[in-house]
């Protein structure tokens, strides 16, 4: 399939070159697929980078981290994107050495649709886990009401919404729940796909945001930018230090600051439930997955140039779109890693 596309593409490029003497060289099409979590930012990056290098075009399919991992492993794309780092077994299953390139950090927020109730509901980790375990079923449950004095919570059933596709956002969220609730860790565990005890499934961050928006009394989890884009409220969550923290660039960066001290060389690290009173507890890196040895030298060179740009100009675009840029020390590490791509 890819060969057919390449042949067709080269034929078109040749026709264009013959038809317009002195025209610039053929466009390089770089294909990627994966995470919906960073999609709003990546869309911006790809359109901005097209102005920097007019010979490159990015085609990115926002299909979820699970799909991105499958496609890069099958080599049907030039890069994968995931908010879940690959296990040793997944790395072993790839036909070449895959490198994790962290791009930005994001917060996974708990969003909800409560008619008549303003944003800023507070949830502690135990209650959130019990909602997703199906043990807290009403919005006015005393356990939720305790943390929300003065808020008129309705006596309505909670409609739980979760991802139906293989998702890095799910991986971050379930990693958090498994770390704060022993029953969750034992019965459900963590990963890109889990056996949900209760709830309705939605595809992608887009699907969850859409479901919450149209379903009164629902609760779900999405990346911060999706809640903001869809004008959805989000909860303040109780962190490891016992403080209720609102998701923001500042509280996301505070979570990363603690973890960065122990950053491994392959960047496979969880940022959930970090210590520190300012740290938001449900935070994750998002990574691009690229092969160390690039099959197509011309395409590989263009991809490396883009990755270098993402560590400089690209980082400056993160915060306005509600993603936390990488800490300076991590950027320096990543720039060295990019140099190892052949």
Q: Under DSSP, is residue 186 helix (H, G, I), strand (E, B) or coil?
A: helix
Q: Return d(Cα 3, Cα 263) in angstroms, integer.
A: 39
Q: Under DSSP, is residue 215 helix (H, G, I), strand (E, B) or coil?
A: coil
Note whether 318 and 325 are within 8 A (CB).
Answer: yes
Q: Which residues have a Cβ under 8 Å from the Cβ of 219 and sit 6 or more positions away?
A: 110, 111, 112, 131, 158, 159, 160, 161, 212
Sign of the dihedral through C-alpha 193, 195, 196, 201: positive
Q: Under DSSP, is residue 48 helix (H, G, I), strand (E, B) or coil?
A: helix
Note whether 41 and 15 are within 8 A (CB).
Answer: no
Q: Return d(Cα 20, Cα 26) in angstroms, integer.
A: 12
Note whether 119 and 173 are within 8 A (CB).
Answer: no
Residue 183 confidence (pLDDT): 96
Query: What DSSP element (H or E) covers 171?
Result: helix 168-180
Residue 26 confidence (pLDDT): 61
Residue 19 confidence (pLDDT): 38
Note whether 221 and 109 are within 8 A (CB).
Answer: yes
Residue 339: Cβ within 10 Å count: 10
Query: What DSSP element (H or E) covers 286?
Result: strand 283-291
Note whether 30 and 79 are within 8 A (CB).
Answer: yes
Strands 236-238 and 244-245: antiparallel
Query: What DSSP element (H or E) covers 168?
Result: helix 168-180
Strands 122-123 and 283-291: unpaired
Q: Return d(Cα 137, Cα 130) in angstroms, integer.
A: 9
Strands 159-163 and 244-245: unpaired
Structure tokens at 54: 């007019």
Strands 56-62 and 159-163: unpaired
Cα–Cα distances in angstroms (integers) from residue 71 to residues 33, 60, 209, 284, 292, in the given order: 7, 12, 25, 22, 16
| Nearest Cα to Cα of residue 282 among 36, 37, 103, 65 | 37
Sign of the dihedral through C-alpha 179, 192, 329, 96: positive
Note whether 218 and 263 are within 8 A (CB).
Answer: no
| 31 beta partners | 59
The pLDDT tens digits along the chain (342 residues) read 444 444 443 443 433 333 333 334 468 999 999 999 899 999 999 999 999 999 999 999 999 999 999 999 999 999 999 999 999 999 999 999 999 999 999 999 999 999 988 778 999 999 999 999 999 999 999 999 999 998 999 999 999 999 998 888 999 999 999 999 999 999 999 998 999 999 999 998 889 999 999 999 999 999 998 888 888 999 999 999 999 999 999 999 998 887 787 889 999 999 999 998 999 999 999 999 999 999 999 999 999 999 999 999 999 999 999 999 999 989 999 999 999 999
Note whether 106 and 223 are within 8 A (CB).
Answer: yes
Structure tokens at 78: 């030039």
What region does 138 belong to: left with phi over 0, alpha with psi -120 to 50, or beta?
beta
């Amino acid at each position: 399939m890819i060969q057919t596309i390449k042949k067709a593409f080269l034929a078109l490029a040749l026709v264009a070159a013959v038809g317009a003497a002195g025209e610039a060289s053929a466009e390089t099409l770089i294909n990627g697929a994966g995470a919906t979590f960073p999609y709003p930012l990546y869309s911006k990056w790809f359109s901005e980078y097209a102005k920097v290098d007019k010979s490159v075009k990015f085609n990115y399919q926002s299909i979820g981290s699970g799909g991105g991992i499958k496609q890069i492993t099958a080599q049907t794309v030039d890069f994968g994107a995931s908010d879940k780092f690959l296990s040793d077994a997944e790395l072993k299953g790839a036909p070449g050495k895959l490198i994790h390139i962290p791009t930005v950090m994001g917060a996974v927020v708990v969003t909800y649709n409560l008619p008549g109730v303003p944003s800023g509901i507070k949830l502690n980790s135990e209650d959130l886990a019990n909602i997703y375990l199906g043990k807290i079923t009403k919005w006015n449950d005393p356990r939720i009401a305790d943390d929300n004095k003065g808020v008129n919570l309705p006596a309505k059933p909670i409609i739980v919404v979760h991802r139906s596709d293989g998702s890095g956002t799910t991986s971050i969220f379930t990693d958090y729940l498994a770390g704060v609730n022993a029953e969750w860790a034992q019965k459900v565990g963590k990963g890109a796909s889990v056996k949900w005890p209760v709830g309705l499934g939605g595809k992608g961050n887009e699907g969850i945001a859409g479901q919450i928006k149209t379903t009164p009394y629902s609760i779900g989890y999405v990346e911060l930018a999706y809640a903001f884009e869809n004008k959805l409220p989000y909860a303040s969550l109780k962190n490891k230090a016992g403080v209720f923290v609102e998701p923001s660039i500042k509280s996301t960066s505070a979570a990363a600051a603690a973890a960065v001290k122990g950053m491994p060389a392959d960047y496979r690290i969880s940022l959930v439930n970090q210590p520190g009173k300012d740290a938001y507890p449900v935070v994750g890196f998002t990574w691009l997955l690229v092969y160390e040895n690039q099959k197509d030298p011309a395409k590989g060179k263009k991809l490396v140039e883009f990755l270098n740009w993402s560590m400089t100009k690209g980082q400056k675009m993160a915060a306005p779109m509600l993603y936390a840029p990488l800490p300076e020390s991590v950027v320096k590490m990543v720039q060295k890693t990019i140099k190892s791509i052949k």
